[in-house]
Each structure stands twice: as C-alpha cells, then as structure tokens.
Structure 1
Amino acid sequence: MGKCLSCCEKPVPPGSSHPTASHPLHTFPLARPYTSLSQDAKETTKLQQQPLVSQSPPVTDSLLGSGGTPTEKKMFTPYSKLPPIKRQTNGESKRPTSITGSVGSTVTGREVSDSKIAALFENYRDEDEEDAMLEDGILRFCSDLGVQPDEFIVLVIAWKCQAATMCRFTREEFFTGCHAMRVDSVKGLQSRFQELKAEVCSSLHFKDLYRWTYKFGLDAESGQRTLPLEMAVILWRLVFSQSPPVILEHWLEFLEKHLNLRGIPKDTWDMFFNFTEQVGDDLSSYDDNEAWPSLLDDFVEYENDRQNQNVKTD
C-alpha cells in the first residue's frame, strides 16, 4: 500500500518502447519507469569500473530513432497540468450547521441558506423595527407553523433562539435559532418538531431549557428580577407539560393559597427542579437537614398536614 503506483506496472522487455502515451498511471507526476533491481545493479557496477574522465556515451540501438539518428531518452513521462477546481455557487451563502448530540459529540446537519433565513425573518419582522419580530409577527409565524403560541414546541423554539424575552425575536436570535435547528423555511421547521421535542427529553438539555425559562419569563424592559407568581405558575405548567412530576399540581396549589407570595426568586425556581428529582413522588426522600429554600420546606410541611401524616392518633 505504501509503494508508488508505478511499481505495479509490468516490466518492459529490452529493446521495446515504454507504453507511456496511453497508460492512466502516467498521469501522476511522480510515476517513474520500471527497472529491475538486477538491471540497476549492473548499471551501477559498469559506472564504477569506468575511468572518471569526461566522454560521450556510446550510441546504441536503444538511443536511435526510426531513422537511425540519436534520440534523447525520456526518463519522466510528460503529463498535462490539471486546471484548478472551481466551486459552483448560485449566489447564496450556504454553510453546514451542527447541533449538539450526546455530550462531547457534534452531529453535522444539512446546509441552510442565510438568504432564505433572512427572507423568512422579513416575512414576520415588525414594520417599525428593522431588526425585531414582535407580538403580531410571532402570532403570524405560529399560525403558519400550525401551532398555538402557548404550546411547548414554541417554548423550545424560543430556547433554541436563546430569546431574551417573550413576544420578541431579534434578527440575531432568529438566525441563531435557525442555524441551531438546521432550518431555513416554515416547512423545514415543521418537519423538525418531533426531533426537537426528543432532544429536550434528555436530562441535560431539559435542565438547560428549564433554567433558561425563568429568565425568558422576566420583563427585561422594566428590569424585573423576580418572576411574578402568576407567570411562574404558567411557565411551570408549560415547561413540565411533556412529563409533569407527580407533585407539580400539589406544589402549584400550595403556591396559589399563599396570597402574600408575590413572586418566585430564581434560586427557588432552580431548586424546585432538583427537588422533583430527589424527594420522590410522595416526598419520602425529603431531608430537612439539606439547604432547601424555605418555601420548599413550607410546602413539605403543608403536604404532610394535608395527607394527615403528622396527625397523632390515640
């Protein structure tokens, strides 16, 4: 495998010309005429025996042409220079995008067109803002996709775009999302719905989606830092809509009964995800020595009372 391709040619009988004109191997610039090792050794011995004086080589039959005149022996087969390869483009900027597969791996997807993504964005861009798709445009976008704005898949699309706030897609966010999802059309995005839902089924991706959702629900223009309780309840139901924890509805019921509770801090939002994974469906694995937010401690006490687990019998 490591030898030159010319070594695979058949040896040329003495006195006959080498078939260089039509053999395909001689299109390689490094192809070399074949000579046997014994022939090379003989020629080397002759050269060593000759005196070191300048003399003309004898004219032999092998150096004579058809007319009996000396001809020059060709050691390399001439080849034609290949023209450079030119890439054919149709004027569009296309580039392959990639998505994250399993941890530590990257899966290359199909090419998407920046010009098509730009045209798609223009269809829904707000008339008064050059680089933003606002509520009306997003509603039309959802309508063309055949989904409702409050569906889980719309939340996933916004997560893929890394949208900073609700009811708004900037041009940069929209391009980021389209490349992340490997789409440049409405039909292309529709065809990816099931794949996108399957992607966030993994605990790693879902946790990222869950944590991002808190920031997504904040009113960035007003500088809001705490998620209002009403919005938190809506987003908890939405983000867990595909696989809700058993305790979710009990948790939301507990929150709605706390009339003095105005908002949900980010640490409580984040820790509730860990809470659902660790305490079990019946709260049997709850450990009050762990550093849970006080609101979660109150919830466990509320649930124990509700189930009469703390009621003593005579």
Structure 2
Amino acid sequence: MRRSASRKTGQSNSTDSPDLFRSASGKASLKEMERIDNLFYTYANKSSGVIDPEGIEALCSDMEVNHTDVRVLMLAWKMKAEKQGLLYPGHKKKFGYLFEFFVLEEWQRGLKSLRADNVNKLKKALPELEKEVKRPSNFMDFYSYAFRYCLTEEKQKSVDIESVCELLDLVLGSQCRAQVDYFIEYLKVQTDYKVINMDQWMGFFRFCNEISFPDFNNYDPKLAWPLILDNFVDWMKEKQA
C-alpha cells in the first residue's frame, strides 16, 4: 500500500511549525507594543510628545493611585526614566508633586517588562512592582535612583534639604521609620547644610542598615562616614542626655 505523501518521515504538521509559531508570537508582540504606544499617547502632551505632570496626574487618577505615591517613583525606576526633567514654564517646583516626564522609549521599556498594555493591567502590576523594588538586591539601586531622579538641572549634584526630607520619608520611611524621623528632624534644625549630595544620601542608607539605633554602640566616627552623620549622632546623643 502506498503511503500518503503528506506523512513522509520527519515531516511536521503545518500547525506545529516553529516558523508559524514564531510568526504568531511576533504578531502578538507587535499588537501588544501597539497597545502600549496607544496608551502612551492617551496621556502624552500633544505638543511636546512626552507624558508631562498633567499626564502623570491623569494616569494616576485612572489607576486610582495618588500621584505622590512612592509606587509612581517605582514605575519611573522600572522605566529607567532618566530624570524629572526641566519643569515647563509655569510649573513651580514642589517636591510634594513628583514631576515626572516619561518619553515613549522609557514607557515602552517599563510597560513591556510589566506586561501591561492597558491601565487596568498597569494598576494590577503595581503590588508586584513594589515587591520587586523592596528586594535587597534592588532596593539600594532604587534608593540611589530616587536621588538622581531629583537632579533636574544639568551638572546638578545636590538636592535641597526640604526636598531631601520629603524624599527620605517617601523612599525610606516605611523601612527605617525611627532613623528617618530623627534624621529629618535634625536636618530641619541644623544650619550647617543647605543641600545633600549623593555621598551623604547613600551614607545615610548604609547608616540605617549597619548602625545600632538609637544607642549607636557600633558607630565609629573615625571610619569613613560623611561628616553630617557624625554631627547627627552627636545631636542625638545630646537629645538622649
């Protein structure tokens, strides 16, 4: 009996073809990216082509998230958004409002990674994003990113005390409540520093993770701590005395 020509040894059914699968997968990926792009332009400023603070507020409203929520900053971290950007004319800088500016490439990178091509999926992705950021392997990078993101001017290397206090509370307050509260109190009453630089910012993070608080038993001022932390410890000991 003659075998059917379609059943030759080693020949696959057309529905199982790897090329067909890759083609279908590629089309699905393109459709997903198209939806991500469409979502971007829903919130983007038509004249500038970027999502500006008004667009961020609209997005947050649709996600039912306050625009000062730390998860908005986490979203910027996930997108690898470069910085807040120079404020548009008429926008007064106030840290209570996270003045994000998302460009399309950043938006695509973040939402594709989160597998979110609509607002509902993005909202549902936020709890997992928060868990991702709070992993020790990621949190230091996020903490550093939060400071860099506030450097809105070219060649700017420091952030004013008022903004630093807001940022510390937002980024680190839930993990190191006591240290953050006392350090903010100190920053507000001291007169030696008007700005904080990256070395001081990261030094405080290390301080929170390594130093026994509030007894400071393992704090050695002879080690390479930023001077502002030596002053903070002295101030705390005077309060305790």
Name the structure 2 match of 1:228: 160
Q: CA deviation at 1:191?
A: 1.0
Q: d(CA) in 2 for partners of 1:81 and 1:247?
A: 65
Partner amino acid, structure 1, of 2:32: S
- Aligned residues: percent identity? 26
1:120 and 2:39 aligned: yes
Query: Which secondary structure does the structure 2 equivalent of 1:289 belong to?
Result: coil
1:242 and 2:187 aligned: no
Over the residues paired in the alignment, what is the CA RMSD in angstroms?
2.6
Partner amino acid, structure 1, of 2:64: G
Cα 1:281/1:90, change in 2 over 3 Å: closer
Name the structure 2 match of 1:269: 201
Name the structure 2 match of 1:189: 122
Q: d(CA) in 1 for partners of 2:192 and 2:177?
A: 25
Q: d(CA) in 2 for partners of 1:201 and 1:299?
A: 26
Name the structure 2 match of 1:150: 68
Q: CA deviation at 1:21?
A: 4.2
Pairs within 5 Å for 1:48-63: none
Q: Say which of 165, 170, 175 aligns to 2:108.
A: 175
Q: CA deviation at 1:244?
A: 2.7
Q: d(CA) in 2 for partners of 1:300 and 1:294?
A: 10
Task: Indicate the structure with greater strand content.
Answer: 1
Name the structure 2 match of 1:289: 222
Partner amino acid, structure 2, of 1:94: S
Q: 1:156-190 CA deviation, whole Å, 9 max, x = no partner?
A: 11111111222211111111111222211111011
Name the structure 2 match of 1:305: 238
Task: Indicate the structure with greater helix content.
Answer: 2
Q: 1:68-112 CA deviation, whole Å, 9 max, x = no partner?
A: xxxxxxxxxxxx8966844565995507xxxxxxxxxxxxxxxx8
Q: d(CA) in 1 for partners of 2:12 and 2:169?
A: 68
- Is the Cα–Cα contact under 8 Å of residues 158 and 196 in structure 2 kept in the other structure? yes
Normalising by the residue count of structure 2, what TM-score does the alignment of the two structures yield?
A: 0.82
Cα 1:90/1:287, change in 2 over 3 Å: closer
Partner amino acid, structure 1, of 2:224: A
Unaligned runs of 5+ in 2: 85-99
1:94 and 2:13 aligned: no
- Is the Cα–Cα contact under 8 Å of residues 165 and 216 in structure 1 kept in the other structure? yes
1:218 and 2:218 aligned: no
Normalising by the residue count of structure 1, what TM-score does the alignment of the two structures yield?
A: 0.64
Cα 1:29/1:212, change in 2 over 3 Å: same
Name the structure 2 match of 1:99: none
Q: d(CA) in 1 for partners of 2:14 and 2:140?
A: 53
Unaligned runs of 5+ in 1: 1-18, 31-79, 96-111, 309-314
Q: Say which of 55, 69, 87 aligns to 1:137.
A: 55
Cα 1:245/1:81, change in 2 over 3 Å: closer
Q: CA deviation at 1:201?
A: 2.1
The number of aligned residues is 220
Name the structure 2 match of 1:57: none
1:164 and 2:82 aligned: yes
Q: CA deviation at 1:245?
A: 4.0
Name the structure 1 match of 2:9: 29
Query: Which secondary structure does the structure 2 equivalent of 1:256 belong to?
Result: helix
Partner amino acid, structure 1, of 2:52: L
